[in-house]
Structure 1
C-alpha cells in the first residue's frame, strides 16, 4: 500500500509539470516516448533509447520496416527478390527517395551505411546476429544485393530494426522530416510539396499526420497522457509498469506488446563461487518466477526458465533446466544444500536500473536467495557487480540472438563447445543441420547455467482512442505513420 501511495504521489507531481488538461482529437499526433529528448543518433556508436529509435524509424528509414502488426513492408526499398537458395537478397530502391537537402539516395550510400554496422569498430547491438552476411554490393544506383553465408528465414526482421536505419551524416532519408525542435519536442512532417515521381511513395491522408515527439520520464509521460496532452506513451518496460498500473486510467488505454526476448540475469564474473556450475544452478533454481508473475503491479509478466522463447522454428523445443518441473520447495532445499557447502557466506551484488518494477523484481530475488542462505544487494548499472539484469526485446524470431549473448566473446560464463556449435550453425548448409547445431548450443548453455532467465520482457504503451491504427506486436515497434488508420468524422 505504501508503494502505491509513493507511485501516485510521483504521478501527481508529474501532472503539475505537464500543466493544463484536456486535448484535441485532431492536429499533430502527440507522442511521449520514455527516455531522453530525441536526437538522430548513430546506432553504431551508441544505443538507441525509445525516443531515438522512434525518431530513426520516422526520419531515417531502412531498406524495409515493420508495419503496425510487426510484418515486413517496403521502406527505402520498393521491392526485393530472395534467391531460391535463400542466400541472396536483391533490393530495388524507390526511385524518388530523397535525403534532407534534396539529394537522391543511392544504392552505394545504403551499402556504405550497412557495411559500417558490421565494421570492426561498430558497437551496433545487432552486429553479433548479422554475422551471416557475406557481402553487400551496389549493383546499380538503384539496386543492391546482400549475400548470406547461409539461409536466414527471418533476415528481413533484422533489417527492419531502427538500428539499421539509413542516415547520411546528420540527414535523414524520410519519410518524415524534422521541421522543428524545441522544448515541446521534435516536430515531424512529410512535406506537402514532397511529390514523389513514383507510385510507391507514402500514402496520402491520415498516415501523413504531423507528429510531435518528446522524450521524458515514465511518470511525466503518464501524467501528460492523463491530462489529455499526449496521444501515445510508448517505450514502457516492466521497470516503470507500476506507474501505469496506478495511474487511474481506463483499462483499455494500457496496451501490452506480446514481446519476445529476455528478462534475465547475466553473470559478470566467473571467479569464486560463481565459477562453479552447481552454485549458479542453485541461484537459478531458487527463484520463484510464479511469485513475481503474481504481483498485481506487474500483471502481464510471464515467467520462464528456458533461455530461448517459445515459437521459434529453429529450436522448437528449447532446453529446460533439469529442475524446471520440480516444486519450488524441493528446488530450494537442493539449492540450500549446495550453498551450505561453501566455505564462507555468499554475497551478491546485482546491477539493475532504477524503477519500481525492477525494485519489485529485486525484492523477490533477495527474498528467494535469502531462503537458501545468500545475501543480495542491488547496485546501479555499470557499478561493480556479480550479475546484471538483461531486459531486451529480440530483434527477430530467431534463436541465435538468445544464444550469442552467452558466447565467450560476450559473457564471463561460457563454454567453448557451445561457441563451436554456434559456428557450426552459422556455416550449416541447410536448415536441418542448423537446427541441430543451435539445439546443441542451447542444451550446453542450459546445462552449465550460463544465465538465470526470469521471463519474457514486458513492453507497454498508453494509447488514446484516436490512434485506431495501433497494434501490439512481438517487436514492440510502432511506426508513427501507422498509428491512425482512419480519421474520425
Structure 2
C-alpha cells in the first residue's frame, strides 16, 4: 500500500496555514462509509470522527465537545437527554433536520447487540424529534456515561456517504484532504485548517515521520510499538495515551483446552504478567490480574484472584507444574517414544507485528514447562484456542468491560453473570448497579472467562509544531487545531 501524502506539502511545515500531514497506521487508505454497514478500519475511525461527527464529539483532551448538537441538557433524574442541533446542511445542501438525525440514530441503535460498544448503550428507550432542531433521548435507567459513548466514531452520523464536519473531505490525487474554515474574529481574516490524511503500515509510517514526510502518526498499538521504539525519534515525539481497556486472552472456542476451566485457571496463574509487560518495553505500564481496571467509575476494588497476592515461589511453581502434568501428561520414561505424536499446540490468535511475537515468546516460556504441551500462533483467520483482546474502553463505566464477555459475544461465558448484567442495565439505583457489576466480575474472574494482563497500549508520533495534540484516555484524536497552542483550540 503506497504512503498517500500530498506532493504539494513540501517546504516549511511550521506555518500556521500549512496543511498538516497525518498518517494512520493501517493497510488501506481511509474511506468514509456507513459506520453501521461495515467494520471500520483504524484509518476509517479517524476519518469518521473528523468528518462525520455525532451529536457530540471529543476534543483533543478527550473531553466532550459540541458536535452536531450545539448544546444539550440532562434531566435531574438522568433519564432524559435533550439536544439542540446546530444550523447546518448535509453535503448535498439539504438542511439537517431532527427527524433525519433520529432515523440515523435508530439505525445505530438497531445494531446495538452486534458489538460491545453499541451493546453498552442499550439502556436507550427511544429517540424522538421534538422540533426540527431538538432531539430527545429517553433512557430506561440513568447513564452518566452516555455522552462518552455517543462521542465515539462508531456513532458518527453519515448520510449518503457524507457527514457534517467538523472537516469536509475531498480527494486530491491519491490523498484525502480534510479542510474546514473558521470565521475570523472582529473583522479578522477567516482561518482555514487543512489536514492531508493517509494510511500506511507501521514501518513505512514511522520512516515517513523520521524522514519528515509526515508530521503526525496515529493508531499505534502494542503490535507495532517496537517499530517506533527502534527508530531514531526526536525527543518527545513518542506519545502514549493513558487508556483503560482490555488487554489479555479470551477463550476462542467451545472445545479443546480452552474449554476446560481447570486448564484456564492453570494458564492464568502461571502467566508471568510482570515479565510480559517488561518485555513489551512500555514505560509505566502496570501488569494487572483483574478484568476491571482501577479508576473506573463506581469500582473501588476490582475482583482479584486468590493467588495474585502470593509471590511466585519455587514451591508454588512446582504445584503448578504438578497440576500441568496431570492435565497434560508427559510421556513416561526419560525420552519421548518415537511413536508418540507431539501434543496439539495451544493456538493463540495474536496481534500482528513484533508485539505479537514478544507475547508468544512469553506465553511459551510460562506455559510450556507446565506439562506435555506446546504453544503456537494461530494462522490469521484460522482456528484458535485463545484470542488476544486489545481494546480501549469507550467510557469510564465498568459496563463495557463486563458486557464484552456476554454469551452473545464469546463462546465460553457465564449465564448467571449475564443475568446480573441485565439487572444492572435496568436498575436506576447506582449502588445496586455497582453491586451487580461487582458480582458479575467476580463470577467471570472465578470462571476465568478472561486472562487479563495490563491496560492496552496506544501510541502516536507527534512532530514539532503540532501543539494542538493531546494524549487522552480514549485514544480518540481530533484533527482540528493541530497547529494551535494548547488551551487555544476551538
Give the structure-1-normalised TM-score.
0.89
1:342 to 318, 322, 327: 327
**What is the deviation of 1:295?**
2.3
**What is the deviation of 1:120?**
5.1
Give the structure 2 partner of residue 418 of structure 1.
417
| Paired residues, number | 462
Give the structure 2 partner of residue 188 of structure 1.
178
1:357-408: CA deviations, max 9, x gaps? Answer: 1211111111111121231100234211101111111100111111111111
Tell me whether 77-86 or 276-285 shows the greater mean CA deviation.
276-285
1:335-373: CA deviations, max 9, x gaps? Answer: 322222126557300012320012111111111111212
Task: Give the Cα–Cα distance (whole angstroms) in 2 for the partners of residues 51 and 371 of structure 1.
Answer: 41
Structure 1 residue 286 corresponds to structure 2 residue 286? no
Give the structure 2 partner of residue 215 of structure 1.
199
2:291 to 298, 307, 332: 307
The within-5 A match list for 1:10-89 is 24-26=13-15, 27-35=18-26, 36-89=28-81
**What is the deviation of 1:299?**
3.8
Structure 1 residue 359 corresponds to structure 2 residue 357? yes
The within-5 A match list for 1:100-249 is 100-119=91-110, 123=114, 126-183=117-174, 185-190=175-180, 208-249=192-233
**What is the deviation of 1:260?**
0.8
**What is the deviation of 1:21?**
8.9
- Against the structure 1 CA distance between its residues 21 and 80, is the aligned structure 2 distance closer, same or farther, given a 3 Å change threshold? closer
Tell me, which stretches of 5 or more residues in structure 2 are unaligned? 330-342
The answer to whether the 8 Å contact 1:354/1:380 transfers is no
- Against the structure 1 CA distance between its residues 331 and 483, is the aligned structure 2 distance closer, same or farther, given a 3 Å change threshold? farther
Give the structure-2-normalised TM-score.
0.89
1:28-86: CA deviations, max 9, x gaps? Answer: 01000111200012222222222111111111111001111111010100010100010
- Against the structure 1 CA distance between its residues 474 and 363, is the aligned structure 2 distance closer, same or farther, given a 3 Å change threshold? same
Tell me, which stretches of 5 or more residues in structure 1 are unaligned? 1-12
Partner SS, residue 161 of structure 2: coil
The answer to whether the 8 Å contact 2:102/2:129 transfers is yes
**What is the deviation of 1:204?**
8.4
Alignment RMSD, CA only?
Answer: 2.5
The within-5 A match list for 1:313-328 is 313-328=297-312
1:267-295: CA deviations, max 9, x gaps? Answer: 01233443332211101111111112222
- Against the structure 1 CA distance between its residues 327 and 204, is the aligned structure 2 distance closer, same or farther, given a 3 Å change threshold? farther
Partner SS, residue 31 of structure 1: strand
The answer to whether the 8 Å contact 1:47/1:125 transfers is no
Give the structure 2 partner of residue 265 of structure 1.
249
**What is the deviation of 1:332?**
3.4
Partner SS, residue 374 of structure 2: strand
- Against the structure 1 CA distance between its residues 110 and 251, is the aligned structure 2 distance closer, same or farther, given a 3 Å change threshold? same
